[in-house]
Amino acid sequence: MFACKKFIPLIILAIFTISFVMKMPVSAHSVLEEATPKKGEKLGGPIQSVKLKFNTKIEKGSSLYLLKDHEEKVEPSSIKIDNNALEARFTQPLKSGSYTVKWEILGVDGHIIKKDYTFTVKSSKAEKENSDNKNDLQNEESNQKNKINQNQEESSTIESENDNDQSVFIFTLIILLAIVCIGLIIWLSGGKRKNSRG
């Protein structure tokens, strides 16, 4: 009986440590902090790279590609991942048009995150007059779709995080109740032994 009482504080400490460690990955989701070109940006000339910076380290295997005018897939010639940054370089400068950046990263917490955003490369003045209205309409439609998709992804991420937090809380509560029950059983059985001896 006396030996069991020594282990109860160790068991409680172990359970609190496990529950604390289980909560840590939930709050470490990677979030896009900075993009070059920026979301919705209208560039005056061609570019040859897209750079993304996140709030946490990202893992190898993260990827990025572009959709030109929502149809033509443009693959980068190389992707460089450095700590929390991803840079995609293209062999040829990106020509005029609307580009959707489709990125997928593996965060340090093990979660895969997929998102996208749109920017525009403007053309020469002659081409500009013919295509401005078309590009603006496409960009507006794309931005609206992106906002809807982003809102859906954010709400599902929040729901997922809330579910994880609730699961950890319930798990911790069950463990604590189990320890209290075990402690009561040990205490009661120790009291019965004392009474039976006396």
Which DSSP string corresponds to 69-99? TTTEEE--SEEEEETTEEEEE-SS---SEEE
Asked if residue 116 has pLDDT above 80, the reply is yes
Q: Is residue 183 part of a domain?
A: no
Asked if residue 144 has pLDDT above 80, the reply is no
Asked if residue 169 has pLDDT above 90, the reply is no
**Token pair belonging to 152:** 């859906």
Q: Is residue 151 part of a domain?
A: no
Q: Is residue 111 part of a domain?
A: yes
Q: Is residue 18 part of a domain?
A: no
Q: Is residue 117 part of a domain?
A: yes
Q: Is residue 164 part of a domain?
A: no
Which structural domain, as residue segments, surrounds residue 117? 32-121
| Higher per-residue confidence, 158 vs 77 | 77
Bridge partner residues of 43 (DSSP)? 121
Asked if residue 52 has pLDDT above 80, the reply is yes
Asked if residue 160 has pLDDT above 70, the reply is no
pLDDT given at position 191? 61
CB 99 within 8 A of CB 120: yes
CATH of the domain at 89: 2.60.40.1220
As a whole number of angstroms, the distance between CA 5 and CA 9 comes to: 8
Average confidence score pLDDT of the chain: 78
As a whole number of angstroms, the distance between CA 152 and CA 43 comes to: 28
Q: Is residue 102 part of a domain?
A: yes
| One-letter amino acid for residue 130 of the chain | N
Q: Is residue 76 part of a domain?
A: yes
Asked if residue 145 has pLDDT above 60, the reply is yes
As a whole number of angstroms, the distance between CA 75 and CA 109 comes to: 27
% of the chain surpassing 90 pLDDT: 37
- pTM to 2 decimals? 0.51
Work out how many domains the chain is built from and give that number. Answer: 1
CA distance from start to end of the chain:
16
pLDDT bin (cut points 50, 70, 90) of residue 25 is: very low
As a whole number of angstroms, the distance between CA 26 and CA 109 comes to: 8
E strand or H helix that includes residue 15: helix 2-23
Radius of gyration of the chain from its Cα atoms, rounded to whole angstroms: 28
